[in-house]
Amino acid sequence: MKLNPYPEYKDSGVSWLGKVPTHWEVLPNRAIFEEKNVKNSNIENLLSVTIKRGVIQQSELLENSSKKDSSNEDKSNYKLVLPGYITYNKMRMWQGAVGVSKYKGIVSPAYIVIKPRKNANPWYYHYLMRTPSCTRESFRNSYGICDDQLSLRFKDFKVIMSPLPPLEEQKAIVAFFRNIDKQINIFIRGKRKLIELFKEQKQAIINHAIARGLDPGVRLKPSGVQWLGDIPEHWEVVPLRWYISISSVDFIEGDKISRKKSCDSTYPVIGGNGLMGFTNVKNCNSSTIVIGRVGALCGNVHLIKEPSWITDNALRINSLKKFDHELLAFQLQCINLNRLANANAQPLITGGVVKSQRVCLFSIHEQKRIVEYIKKKSDEIDTAILRAEREIELIREYRTRLIADVVTGKVDVRDIPVAETPEIEEPGGIDSTLETAEPAEPADLTETQENPDEDHDD
């Protein structure tokens, strides 16, 4: 479906908006919002404002994360947020840390809480304030000596000019995006499922090649190793300790690590989780295998092919006899060393545990053939994965452009029935990482819901 512009436009007089539909108003934010500073609410539901997902419950942010609750124990100065209120992080508004709350809760005093007036739909402004042009305007009105110290105070926010379409039109725009987001969620979920299937296929190819080789007619024998099962009759099963030596490595000072590669920091820094940054020193000159030694992801296996600095969070295989480096790395990945870590508070895997593992040994010629086969098949699958990831990226870019065009009046969606919004046909479900999932209908925001002792700071 083609989206058309409005019949008539006028100059908004605001550079970040440009022309707007003739019947739209353009007003300072103080005419659209009022600041709310309700404190001492005795509510324990702590909310966070995120750049990607808007306002969420902090418990959701911390779930399955290494982050910890950094809020003050004394929350008497924390601000009350009601469903339908908009709140923003004044230090990160210019990056899009703003959104409508679906929850009743409290936020840090560092956040600004605003209530849309009766002529403003909060979800319309949720979409508007997260557009690139609006965040740039927030940046222009923020103050500080550097980006990390910029702050958008309410007294500066309230003078920013914003569009005010008729209320019914705002609701139509929100309904349009609600349906668009459903379709995009379905599309992305389908692509993610496809990516997971590709990854499973890739691992199945590696597992089969590592355990059975490339000859489908080869005679098999029991390996005596659970993860291997039956193996080709001419292969041996050997303990690694006969063929490798392992050591932990030296520590590198944190201030010597650069996040980006530069003339002064050319060598990759490799830890247990892979690439950590770059430095100007090295302690490994040749191809080697690095294994995560400590932490939740200990047992991760990385094949290093260039001069590097290996940190003390990793084990390094120093010498290797009768094994191709890449073939052994594949075997170690198939073993899943992580499951062998000790059960202490800080998981740990030792060189002795790694060397005690039993793997298959066969001719270097056959090892190289298997490596080439795995790399060829893996490259084909990786290309398909990159294509699917690019499609997800493109649909996100489309969504961002579409939102910017609709909320600033560049295209007209008033008369588009919800059933006729553009459909993207893919199986799937909900993508929780879109900037907004299904918006809840805003609550009835009446003064009776609020603390009568609130103060206004506008």
Paired tokens of 377: 């098949």
Which of 178-182, 273-277, 362-366, 399-403 has the lowest average pLDDT?
A: 273-277
Paired tokens of 100: 């409508």
Place of tokens 């050997």: 238
Paired tokens of 458: 């506008």
| Domain match, 36 and 160 both | yes
pLDDT digits (tens, 9 = 90+) for 229-248: 999 999 999 999 999 888 76
Q: Does 210 reside within a domain?
A: no
For residues 21-54, one letter each, b for 16 or more C-beta atoms within 10 angstroms of the residue's C-beta and e for the rest, the string is beebeeeebbebbbbbbbbebebeebbbbbeebb
| Domain match, 357 and 440 both | no
Structural domain including 158 reads: 24-164+435-458
| Domain match, 347 and 439 both | no
**pLDDT band at 401, cuts 50/70/90?**
very high
CA-based nearest residue to 276, from 260, 263, 290: 260
Q: Does 175 reside within a domain?
A: no
| Domain match, 31 and 156 both | yes
Boundary-marking domain end, from 315, 332, 361: 361
pLDDT digits (tens, 9 = 90+) for 67-99: 666 666 777 889 999 999 999 999 999 999 999
| Domain match, 125 and 35 both | yes
**Alpha-carbon span 148 to 347, nearest angstrom:** 35
**pLDDT band at 267, cuts 50/70/90?**
confident
Query: Stretch 368-387: mean pLDDT, rounded?
Result: 96
| Domain match, 128 and 34 both | yes
Q: Kindly state the helix (H) or strand (E) to which residue 169 belongs, with its residue range.
A: helix 167-212
pTM (2 d.p.): 0.78
- Residue 147: exposure state from Cβ atoms within 10 A (0-12, 13-18, ≥19): exposed
Q: Does 171 reside within a domain?
A: no
pLDDT of residue 458: 35
For the chain, the domain total comes to: 2
pLDDT of residue 53: 87
Q: Does 280 reside within a domain?
A: yes
Q: Does 351 reside within a domain?
A: yes
Q: Does 292 reside within a domain?
A: yes
Q: What is the CATH number of the domain that holds 156?
A: 3.90.220.20
**pLDDT band at 442, cuts 50/70/90?**
very low
pLDDT of residue 5: 95
| Domain match, 147 and 269 both | no
Averaged pLDDT score across all residues of the chain: 84
| Domain match, 69 and 151 both | yes
Q: Does 227 reside within a domain?
A: no
pLDDT of residue 451: 37
pLDDT of residue 257: 67
pLDDT digits (tens, 9 = 90+) for 313-340: 888 887 788 999 999 999 999 998 888 8
**Alpha-carbon span 306 to 301, nearest angstrom:** 16
| Domain match, 244 and 346 both | yes
**Alpha-carbon span 315 to 270, nearest angstrom:** 11
On the question of pLDDT at 426 being above 50, the answer is no
Boundary-marking domain end, from 338, 361, 384: 361
pLDDT of residue 336: 87
Boundary-marking domain end, from 335, 361, 387: 361
Q: What is the DSSP string of 222-261?
A: E-S-TTT-EEETT-EEEEGGGTEEEEE-----GGG-BSS-
Q: Does 222 reside within a domain?
A: no
